Amino acid sequence: MRIQGKVALITGAAEGLGGAFAEELLKKGAKGVGIADVNVSKGKETAGLFLSKYGHQKAIFLQCDVTSEKQLEDAFRKTKEEYGRLDIVCNNAGIGDERKWRLMIDINLAAVVHGTYLARKYMSKQHGGSGGLVVNIASMAGLILGPLSPVYTATKHGVVGFTRSMASFDAAFSKDDIRLNTICPSFSDTSIINKTVAPEFVDGDIMKQVAGTLKLLPVSRVAEGFMRLVEDDDLHDQVMRVTHERGIDFQRFKPNPPMPSKM
């Protein structure tokens, strides 16, 4: 995809991975980016920074609790109204609090499902859109077992499975309409690491010790992988891994069982 003139909506974009993704798109000439985040002060600060660096109307802050169906759809609607189009969606918002496991399921998985369905509604050529790209952010915990984080691990496995299934069997998601991919980074140097809370049955000090042994990926490395997914039109139905050991590569799976290719 040629990024110049394109419009993106990114959840959880006030900081961390989402903020890095947004800035990379603006550096490449994106028309505008919707900064959707529940953190109003940080979200406004980030949007203001992008406006000062990249120009008038290049970013819009959208107060959005992704667990609210109305607020999430409003973010899609307002972004398209502001810029006249929507080309790229990144469902990035996430938390790592095992003691608020229901909320974690709602943010890490249910909101990704809803955001993907909304992308189909607002972007698909079947609904009068121009097609584009959706990138759902999972984690290496979606491919292996996350340390001392059973619900987080379950949500990220869910993101991988949901995204792969939609990319394989939903007619709106194809190279000719909306490309759909997943990124599974190792633990990255973002605030979610410091905010991660262990489940009740795990001593908090043990969780801190485990976190202290992790070698964190720089955010820039994950952003590099994200931009590769954006710019390479051949990448669809892919699960990208970003790790220290292998860098940027792709998870390989057994072929899908025989079924209608698109339903």
Catalytic (active-site) positions = 152
Token pair, residue 56, equals: 């008038």
Dihedral sign for Cα atoms in the order 260, 158, 147, 38: positive
Strand partners, 179: 133
Instruction: With beta carbons less than 8 A apart as the criterion, state whether 228 and 235 touch.
Output: yes
Instruction: With beta carbons less than 8 A apart as the criterion, state whether 87 and 133 touch.
Output: yes
Strand partners, 248: 242
d(CA 195, CA 152): 13
The backbone torsions φ and ψ at residue 71, rounded to the nearest 5 degrees and listed phi first, read: -65, -35
